[in-house]
Amino acid sequence: MRLWLPDIGHFVYPDATAVRGELEYYNDRKTAIANPCLIVEVLSDSTEAYDRGEKFRRYQSIPSFTEYLLFDQKQCCVEQYVRRTELEWMYRCARGEESRLQLECLEVELELGDIYEEVEFARATTISARRTD
């Protein structure tokens, strides 16, 4: 579902959102969420810089937004930002299947192994150069 960004008067499509309490819509239309507490993005090579930078800064204009998750699709890793004050965000990184992630706005704890259960990561290939002199 689309998400309304009040600072720029624009809609975006995050990979996932969660709302705590009553769902609020932009302009009372059921086509855009106005009050997410949690926003999730799955990082890709083409969107990673935007998701970490400008998009995250724009999300911060949403008063109800308190938690941001960035899922790595190349390894079992989730980065988490939790709002502490209007200008301060706490950073955490959970790596590996045994790691646990505490979602503060939803009061739930998740294990990364459960989140990434069906994911098969591409194997890294090593290219070596041979010297022939």
The string of pLDDT tens digits covering residues 63-115 is 999 999 999 999 999 999 999 998 899 999 999 999 999 999 999 999 999 99
What is the pTM for the complete model shown? 0.87
Has residue 130 been placed in a domain? no
Has residue 42 been placed in a domain? yes
Domain residue limits at 87:
2-115
Number of CB atoms found within 10 A of residue 13's CB: 9
Strand ranges in the chain using DSSP code E only, listed in sequence order = 2-5, 10-12, 16-18, 32-33, 38-42, 67-71, 77-83, 89-95, 100-103, 108-111
Has residue 132 been placed in a domain? no
Tokens (6 digits) for 114:
């459960």
Has residue 71 been placed in a domain? yes
Q: Where are the alpha helices (DSSP H) in 53-132?
A: 54-59, 112-115
Distance CA 65, CA 7 (A): 13
